[in-house]
């Protein structure tokens, strides 16, 4: 009798383990009960007060509002870390937000290896991979407003831009900036220098100094952490600058007149929320432009000195409406 009971217990235990194993296969990686885990993988590092920090704000907001847990995986621009960090994030989380053009090839490979994980890839356009969602921004539309503003403010009729690298996404900023300036004043000259780095303020300062020496009195920084050098040059030379990605006026409100805001954090937050609701179109590209409030202009807080008048803001709002309605066609650079 005891032998029969022992056999029955063993059989029951084995059967329970099989059922548990089967159930586990259908659970997304990184789900612990009601808590969803999110991995944020950035090509560079946090602390740029721009692109990467904006993405971090998105997952932090998701933690506060949606109850997710998250870890950040920084690659510090070391290409040898891209694959390993992305794999580690995929093993930890059920949703992985990937930030940086550098991941274009590796994210497609890893997404196929972890089909149970959702990937949110920022700043690119890839379709056809079921668990990969890419987010593309109309930087040209936001930069059109930045260029229009620079043309309104310039006294020398020469404005500049410092780009991090000569790549499609930065060229999209460039063409919009130039078009916006020309829309206000066809005689305004627009000079651009690519620093070829997103993490080196010294290179940004050198590039901005060169532009100011050519007569530019306002320089638009589109260079991540490198852009901090643009602000330094503006302060030392008594010139002005335009920030990027986040509202950067707080960094130096005496020289930063406004910022072209690219709401990376908002788009990541929205996509995490939609995944949790089961309302996301996997394998598709999500677009964020002026119409979706994905790009725009930030003027800082009310306690800061305002360089942009109410009349200028009203004119920029009119331009925005015309772009959204299709009355102004903004050129693309990517």
Which residue is associated with the tokens 């690119």? 124
Q: Are residues 120 and 239 in the same domain?
A: no
Give the residue numbers spanning the domain of 129.
31-138+265-288
- 64 found inside a domain: yes
| Each residue's pLDDT tens digit, 216-237 | 999 999 999 999 999 999 999 9
Q: Are residues 169 and 298 in the same domain?
A: yes
Q: Are residues 145 and 128 in the same domain?
A: no
- Here the CATH number for the domain that contains residue 40 is 3.40.50.2300
- 53 found inside a domain: yes
Q: For residue 56, what are the contacts with CB-CB under 8 A and spacing of at least 6?
A: 40, 42, 46, 72, 265
| Each residue's pLDDT tens digit, 271-282 | 999 999 999 888
- 133 found inside a domain: yes
Q: Are residues 167 and 303 in the same domain?
A: yes
pTM: 0.85
Distances (CA, A) of 93 to 123, 212, 275: 21, 46, 13
Q: Are residues 279 and 225 in the same domain?
A: no
| Each residue's pLDDT tens digit, 107-123 | 999 999 999 999 999 99
Q: Are residues 186 and 126 in the same domain?
A: no
- 2 found inside a domain: no
Average pLDDT over residues 85-110: 97
Q: Are residues 131 and 229 in the same domain?
A: no
Q: Are residues 155 and 283 in the same domain?
A: no
Q: Are residues 110 and 157 in the same domain?
A: no
| Number of domains comprising the chain | 2
What are the backbone angles phi and psi of residue 175, rounded to the nearest 5°?
-65, -35
- 10 found inside a domain: no
Q: Do 94 and 28 meet the contact criterion of CB atoms below 8 Å apart? A: yes
């Amino acid at each position: 009798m005891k032998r029969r009971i022992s056999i029955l217990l063993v059989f029951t235990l084995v059967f329970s383990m099989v059922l548990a194993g089967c159930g586990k296969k259908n659970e997304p990686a990184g789900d612990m009960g009601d808590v969803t885990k999110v991995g944020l993988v950035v090509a560079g590092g946090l602390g740029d007060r721009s692109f990467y920090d904006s993405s971090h704000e998105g997952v932090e907001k998701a933690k506060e509002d949606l109850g997710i847990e998250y870890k950040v995986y920084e690659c510090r621009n070391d290409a040898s870390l891209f694959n390993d960090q992305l794999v580690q994030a995929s093993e930890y989380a059920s949703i992985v937000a990937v930030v940086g053009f550098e991941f274009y090839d590796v994210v497609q490979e890893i997404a196929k290896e972890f089909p149970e994980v959702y990937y949110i890839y920022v700043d690119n356009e890839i379709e056809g991979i079921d668990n990969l969602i890419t987010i593309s921004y109309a930087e040209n539309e936001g930069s059109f407003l930045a260029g229009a503003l620079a043309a309104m403010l310039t006294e020398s009729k020469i404005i500049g831009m410092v780009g991090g690298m000569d790549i499609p996404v930065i060229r999209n900023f460039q063409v919009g900036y130039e078009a916006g300036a020309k829309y206000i004043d066809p005689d305004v000259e627009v000079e651009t220098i690519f620093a070829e780095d997103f993490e080196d303020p010294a290179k940004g300062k050198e590039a901005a100094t060169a532009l100011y020496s050519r007569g530019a009195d306002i320089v638009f920084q589109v260079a991540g952490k490198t852009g901090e050098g643009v602000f330094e040059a503006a302060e030392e030379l008594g010139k002005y600058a335009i920030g990027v990605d986040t509202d950067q006026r707080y960094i130096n409100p005496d020289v930063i007149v406004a910022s072209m805001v690219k709401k990376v954090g908002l788009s990541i937050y929205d996509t995490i929320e939609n995944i949790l609701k089961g309302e996301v179109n996997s394998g598709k590209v999500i677009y964020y432009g002026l119409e979706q409030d994905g790009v725009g202009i930030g003027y800082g807080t009310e306690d800061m000195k305002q360089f942009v008048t109410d009349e200028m803001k009203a004119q920029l709002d009119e331009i925005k409406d015309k772009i959204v309605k299709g009355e102004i066609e903004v050129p693309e650079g990517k």
